[in-house]
Amino acid sequence: MKQHYNSSANAKQLTLLCCYAAEDQEQLSSLKRYFVSLSDERVCVRLATLDMDAASLGLAEASVTISEAHIILLLVSDAFKRFGDDKHRAMEHILNSARHGDTRVFPVVLRKTRWAGTSFSILRPLPANGAALQTRIEEHFDASIMAILLNELRMEMHKLADTLGIAQDHPLAHTNDDVRYAYSPDVQAVAEDEKQREAMTDELLLLPTHSPIPQSARDTSNKSLTRWVKVVLPKADYALPRRRIALRHQVRRSVPRVVIVVVVVCLTCSLSH
């Protein structure tokens, strides 16, 4: 099948559309935090969402949203399976778009469920092994499965961007300052409960480690920059500890004072003797 995709001449970014059931609104909100990390120096990603229940009522508007998407994720759950019959018009539009090569469509299993026999069961899931992100409703996303999902999704987007000829510069990609501070925390640590992730936003200034960090990025008083980057990402190589930088500068400033004090004390002792 020839794949031609949505390749508007004015397109400068890839549109990622998440289709979900209304019951999974909370899981969608959590997913969006992870998907922030998908934009990088090669691809700029615009995230869109579509409530499949609302799509049944506003089919014309939903059709426009579907047509504009480059990649569509179907967030599969027990609730979402009700859209898997041949009578759901929005799902029919999505599947036709996939058959014609206009859009790449992947089911993403939120919670383990039997979805064989649905109209979208013919599609290849992400991750490719079909693993569910959650085992139970009350649990948070599995960090290892999420990492695999993001990696495979990023690969799909890069391949599509190459096909469409989309080249997008990262806002921090060009700078004369080649100083880099970074470390790689355990991915499990950034995939824990919501309260801990919120607390970590006060500890981390997140930047891609492959991009040079400008002087302004090390000045935490720059509020506009801080707002842009202060998001906890699940990818392990995206983090910069602000306190470590501040402590490093504080130690550097305090060293001359210590030396002066030691010299003065030594001189005083020698004069007294």
- Give the CA distances from residue 51 to residues 6, 43, 65, 248, in Å, rounded to whole numbers and listed in that order: 21, 25, 11, 48
The pLDDT tens digits along the chain (273 residues) read 444 445 443 347 899 999 999 999 999 999 999 998 888 877 889 999 999 988 877 788 888 999 999 999 999 999 999 998 877 889 999 999 999 988 999 999 998 899 999 999 999 999 998 999 987 666 688 999 999 999 999 999 999 988 888 755 544 333 332 222 222 233 344 344 444 444 443 333 333 434 444 444 444 443 333 333 333 444 444 344 444 444 444 444 554 565 566 666 677 777 665
Task: Report the alpha-carbon distance of residue 179 to residue 166 in Å, rounded.
Answer: 29
Whole-number pLDDT of residue 88: 86
DSSP the chain: --------TT--SEEEEEEE-GGGHHHHHHHHHHHGGG--SS--EEEEEEEHHHHHH-HHHHHHHHHH-SEEEEEE-TTGGGG-STT-HHHHHHHHHHHTTSSEEEEEESB----TTSTTTTSPPSSTT---SBSSTTSPPPHHHHHHHHHHHHHHHHHHHHHHT-----TTS--S----------TTGGGS-HHHHHHHTTTB----TTSPPPGGGG-TT-HHHHHHH----S-TT---BHHHHHHHHHHHHHHHHHHHHHHHHHHHHHHH-
The structural domains of the chain, with segments of one domain joined by +, span 14-164, 172-273
Phi, psi of 137 (to 5 degrees): -60, -40
- Give the CA distances from residue 229 to residues 21, 153, 204, 217, 269, in Å, rounded to whole numbers and listed in that order: 30, 22, 9, 9, 52
Bridge partners (DSSP) listed for residue 17:
48, 72
Of 168, 248, 175, which Cα lies nearest the Cα of 217?
175
- The CATH architecture to which 14-164 belongs is 3-Layer(aba) Sandwich (3.40)
Enumerate residues 6+ apart whose C-beta is below 8 A from 175: 212, 213, 214
CB-count exposure of residue 186 (10 Å: 0-12, 13-18, 19+) = exposed
pTM above 0.85, yes or no: no
Phi, psi of 104 (to 5 degrees): -95, 125
Whole-number pLDDT of residue 260: 66
